Amino acid sequence: MNTPVIPKVSVLMPVFNTARYLSGALTSLSAQTFTDFELVAVDDGSNDGSTRILELFAARDKRMRLVTRENRGLIPTRNELLGAARGELLAWMDSDDVSLPDRLARQVDAFRNDPALVCLGSAAQCIDPDGNFLNIERWPILHREILIEQQMGGAMRFPTTMMRRDFAQRVGEFREPFRIGEDFDFLLRLSESGKMANLPDVLYLYRQHISSVCAILGPQWPVYRDRILELARERQHDGKDQLQQGGSICIDMPVNADRRQTERKVYLGWAQHALMNDNIPLAWKYARAAVARRLMSKSAWKLIFHIFLRAGPAMLGRKGH
């Protein structure tokens, strides 16, 4: 009986209803310059054609291990992926994003060169639903800087990360009741076990959606962030936090924010980033969408004024959407 070959890297991908972008995400993995990896994908009950795309890809690329099942949610899916991984290193990836060709190679090299390294992220180019460039997220490079930034709820973009499997599995699973920030909670616990770092280069295209969890639950993020940081302080003081001791927590949420107000803020941010990139038609498109969500939005009208100054009404009439 042949002993299965254990890959150096396990790429872990949760999938739920991302058929529009899934082929691009999978193709970006096929194009990696580093090839000694397995792709473990868990289809969390998709009903939009994602399952068929995954099955076709798995038939072509034997490095893929595919699990399809009923919907259970993101946290159980992440935990299933974490338990199924075989590689020495784990690379996370969202199923609507793109890993640039040298992402895995660059990260594997960093781990080879630094035995103390436990987790490594990178800068990320944010893109809109159609793949247009927005802003670039740049994170602190050094471990001590990352620890400081974590106290404000940031420091790494989770799907850019690669981590050592033994450390990742040792810190425990992704945890309820975090509807948002389950990855931040996980990275905080990982940072308590060893060295963290970020590469300064863009190795990942991170897609923004108006209906994403981050966009919808964005107004609730400070409440989740503060509770997660409180658990971290409990670990520092007592060795274990309330959840690790078998307890449970209840997060009191504020009254849900107006959905149109939340969308206005998202579109306004996209428009500002597009204007910074001199993409006038895209800035105009999203500024108009922001005004449509709130006609009397001073910030949206101010941005439209700046777009007119930059481009002029003739260009907007010719190229706008």
- The type of residue at 16 is F
Distance CA 161, CA 178 (A): 20
User: Quick one: tokens of 196?
Assistant: 């963290």
Residue at 234 is within a domain: no
When mean pLDDT is compared across 179-193, 227-241, 252-266, 275-289, the lowest value belongs to 252-266
Which H/E stretch holds residue 110? helix 103-113
Count of CB atoms situated within 10 Å of the CB of 79: 17
Judge if the upstream peptide bond of residue 177 is cis by omega within 30 degrees of 0: yes
Residue at 13 is within a domain: yes
Res. 321 pLDDT band, cuts 50 70 90 = very low
Mean pLDDT confidence for 31-59: 98
| Domain range enclosing 117 | 9-209
> Higher pLDDT residue, 225 or 2?
225
Residue at 229 is within a domain: no
The pLDDT tens digits for 106-161 are 999 999 999 999 999 999 999 999 999 999 999 999 999 999 999 999 999 999 99
Residues 184 and 303 in one domain: no
Q: Do 181 and 225 meet the contact criterion of CB atoms below 8 Å apart? A: yes
Residues 294 and 162 in one domain: no
96-133 in b/e burial notation, b at 16+ Cβ within 10 A? bbbbbbebbebbbeebeeeeebbbbbbbbbbbbeeebb
Last residue of a domain, one of 209, 244, 267: 209
Residues 177 and 281 in one domain: no
Q: What is the 3-state secondary structure (H, E, C) of 259-318?
A: HHHHHHHHHHHHHHHHHHCCCHHHHHHHHHHHHHHCCCCHHHHHHHHHHHHHHCHHHHHH
Distance CA 155, CA 20 (A): 29
Q: 223 CB contacts (<8 Å, ≥6 apart)?
A: 251, 252, 253, 254
Distance CA 39, CA 138 (A): 26
**For the whole model, what pTM was predicted?**
0.92
- The type of residue at 103 is R
Last residue of a domain, one of 178, 209, 240: 209
Residue at 74 is within a domain: yes
